[in-house]
Amino acid sequence: MSRKPKVAIIGGGVGGLAAALALHRLGMEFEVYEQASHINEIGAGLNLSPNALKAFRMLGFENEAIEAGWQDEYQCTRSWRTAFPISRQPRKLTSDIYGAQYLTLHRADLQSLLLERLPETHVHTGKACVDAGTNGKTAYARFTDGSSVDADIVIGADGIHSAVRDALYGKQPPHFTGCICWRGLVPVEAVANIPYVKDLAAWWGPHGHVVHYRVRRGELVNFVAHYDSDAWTEESWTTECTKDELIGTFARWNDALLQLFDQSERYYKWALYDRDPLPQWSKRQVSLLGDSAHPMLPYLGQGAASAVEDACILARVLDDSEGNIEAKLQRYEALRKPRTTRMQLVSRERAKENHLTSPAARLMRDAKVAFRSRFGSDKSIFKAGWVYEYDPATTPIG
Ligand SMILES: Cc1cc2nc3c(=O)[nH]c(=O)nc-3n(C[C@H](O)[C@H](O)[C@H](O)COP(=O)(O)OP(=O)(O)OC[C@H]3O[C@@H](n4cnc5c(N)ncnc54)[C@H](O)[C@@H]3O)c2cc1C
């Protein structure tokens, strides 16, 4: 095929919209089909490391993302009860080494930055996909309203519960990790007199950890509190809950955190599920991207970043004149899968480290991280240099 392929993207989340923008910038035809009746404002903070910012650079909105988000001066880990700073590193160090900033951004702001760069008529809402595949030389997707579309390629960017993935490989049940997360957003003025919580930090304690950082030009503090529990198992991002259960769970933690939790207007909770890496993502003229391909636990902070990287590499591969569509999708998968599989597995390992219960094991971990942050050669503290150094615009795709 010499003409550029026409791509149907299922899902208008961060990954789907990033894929649309990457294709659009390279002059390819695309249509996005999103199940929601409008592109969602739900969600809260995303932690975006230098590799994500390099992807934004390729997509042409790095500076606008920096304006919309927030960059903390330091990245800090604290002990759950005493607030003792286990590690404290200037974030600028990470940006100097890896060539882009480290940013925290509201998920809705990232979606808006992507959406406003796309021709509106190519984003279709109220379209819930139920099936996808390849018929002859054409890929297709079918929707719950009985309609269907044909394209050269269908990309399933439909998130952790992907219908496209199910259509390709059958339903695969996720494993509950035994961890529950709560999140909230607090106006920064409301925490003016609370110590520690205005700045980015991760607090580590027995059975749990809490992360907070600012988003939306620093106007809001986003917090996510994780705790081991089998008491509840709903996976949705949108389930609201009461303040009391959050405060009750963290009652023995530092008072600054409890004061922070107290200030949110709304509280959401979700159960963390994990899925094993898929053996493959692409079947004929259909492939997957983002959480549908490689859902990962949040401990490496790479869910959104890896989806945007996928989008950049997919567009570069499809823009390349070498190979037919099936070969290109195989190449895209081969370029992306080793990296995202490693992210999935490292995130899983981190989960164990973050929630250690034995005081001796926690002391050893804290001493190791404290030493590494002061004297280690990998200035990312968490040995994530391999994550941050990646640039999807320049990584070889041949
Ligand atoms: C509502 C919501 C809130 C979130 N909040 C946070 C947060 O606060 N912090 C955080 O770190 N991460 C959050 N995430 C996850 C984070 O956005 C993703 O992990 C990451 O950005 C990867 O993006 P993705 O596009 O692959 O998946 P997602 O962002 O999950 O996007 C998938 C999109 O596909 C759509 N979709 C699903 N099924 C179908 C279907 N059958 N047909 C058509 N469309 C479909 C969904 O409505 C969604 O818009 C949230 C995700 C969602 C959906």
Domains within the chain, CATH numbers bracketed: 6-173+275-388 (3.50.50.60)
Whether 40 is in the pocket of ligand 1, judged by its Cβ within 6 Å, is yes
Ligand 1 within 6 A of 304 CB? yes
Quickly state the pLDDT bin for 2 (edges 50, 70, 90): low
What is the number of the ligand 1 atom nearest to the C-alpha of 164? 41
Phi, psi of 337 (to 5 degrees): -65, -45
Atom of ligand 1 nearest to the CA of 296: 19
Whether 4 has a pLDDT exceeding 90, the answer reads no
Q: Which residue has the higher pLDDT, 369 or 46?
A: 46
User: What is the spatial distance between Cα 322 and Cα 45, in angstroms, rounded to a whole number?
Assistant: 39
Whole-number Å distance, alpha carbon 164 to ligand 1 midpoint, is 14
pLDDT band with cut points at 50, 70 and 90 for residue 42: confident
**Ligand 1 neighbour 125 (Cβ under 6 A):** no
Residue 288, ligand 1, Cβ within 6 A: no
The 3-state DSSP class for residue 219 equals coil
Of 56, 107, 131, 181, which is best to mutate to test ligand 1, by the most ligand atoms within 8 angstroms of its C-beta? 107
| pLDDT on residue 264 | 95
Looking at the DSSP bridge assignments, the partners of residue 256 are none
Active site residues: 213
Question: Which long-range contacts does 230-238 make (Cβ < 8 Å, 24+ apart)?
Answer: 230/176, 230/178, 231/180, 232/180, 232/269, 232/271, 233/176, 233/271, 234/270, 234/271, 235/160, 235/161, 235/174, 235/270, 235/271, 235/273, 236/270, 237/42, 237/43, 237/268, 237/270, 238/42, 238/268
Structure tokens at 248: 């009750």
Q: Is the four-CA dihedral 120, 126, 132, 138 of positive or negative sign? A: negative
Q: Specify burial of residue 121 (Cβ count, 10 A radius: 0-12, 13-18, 19+).
A: exposed
Token pair of 315, please?
């567009």
Helix (H, G, I), strand (E, B) or coil at 267: coil
pLDDT above 60 (res 68) = yes
User: Beta partners for 283?
Assistant: 286
Number of Cβ atoms within 10 Å of the Cβ of 137? 12
Query: Identity (one letter) of the amino acid at 202?
Result: A
Q: Ligand 1: distance of its center to the CA of 78 in Å?
A: 30
Closest ligand 1 atom number to CA of residue 143 = 42
CA of 396 to the centre of ligand 1 (A): 28
DSSP state at residue 298: G
Other CB atoms within 10 Å distance of the CB of residue 251: 8
As a whole number of angstroms, the distance between CA 122 and CA 151 comes to 14
43 touches ligand 1 (CB under 6 Å)? yes
Express each pLDDT in 252-288 by its tens digit: 999 999 999 999 999 999 999 989 999 999 999 999 9
Q: Is 305 in the pocket of ligand 1 (CB under 6 A)?
A: no
Task: Give the closest residue (by CA) to ligand 1 atom 49.
Answer: 13
C-alpha–C-alpha distance, residues 44 and 10, integer Å: 22
* pLDDT band, residue 357 (cuts 50/70/90): confident
What percentage of residues in the chain have a pLDDT greater than 70?
Answer: 97
- Amino acid, single-letter form, for residue 178: G
Query: DSSP secondary structure string, 160-176?
Result: TT-HHHHHHH---PPEE
Taking CA atoms only, the protein residue closest to ligand 1 atom 31 is 13
Candidate ranges 76-90, 229-243, 376-390; pick with highest mean pLDDT: 76-90
Q: Is 237 in the pocket of ligand 1 (CB under 6 A)?
A: yes
* Ligand 1 center from residue 372 Cα (angstroms): 34
- Is the minimum distance from the CB of 184 to ligand 1 under 6 angstroms? no
Task: Pull the structure tokens for residue 247.
Answer: 């405060």
**Is there an atom of ligand 1 within 6 Å of 159 CB?**
yes
By three-state DSSP, how is residue 74 classified?
Answer: strand
Question: What pLDDT does residue 93 have?
Answer: 77
Q: Does residue 380 register a pLDDT over 80?
A: no
CA 202-205-208 angle, 5° bins = 80
d(CA 207, CA 224): 14
* Class of residue 217 by CB neighbours under 10 A (exposed 0-12, middle 13-18, buried 19+): middle
Continuous H helices in the chain? 14-25, 50-59, 62-68, 91-98, 107-115, 163-169, 243-249, 255-262, 303-319, 325-354, 359-375, 385-388
Beta bridge partners of residue 134, listed in sequence order? 139
Instruction: Provide the pLDDT confidence category of residue 379 given band limits of 50, 70 and 90.
Output: low
Quote the CA–CA distance of 51 and 29 in Å, as a whole number.
26
Q: Which whole-number Å values give the CA distances from 195 to 87, 130, 191, 254, 286, in the listed order?
A: 17, 49, 8, 10, 51
Mutate to test the pocket of ligand 1, among 110, 291, 296, 310 (most ligand atoms within 8 A of CB): 291
Please work out whether the CB of residue 107 comes within 6 Å of at least one atom of ligand 1: yes
The first and second tokens of residue 2, run together, are: 């010499």
CA–CA separation, 144 and 139 (whole Å): 17
Across-strand partners of 131? 142
Among 32, 147, 158, which residue has the most ligand 1 atoms within 8 Å of its CB, making it the best to mutate?
158
Residue 136 has pLDDT above 70, yes or no: yes
> 167-188: buried (b, 16+ CB within 10 Å) or exposed (e) per residue?
bbeeeeeeeeebbbbbbbbbeb
What is the greatest pairwise CA distance in the chain?
Answer: 65
Q: What is the pLDDT of residues 298-346, one digit of tens each?
A: 999 999 999 999 999 999 999 998 889 999 999 999 999 999 999 999 9
Structure tokens at 120: 């509106």
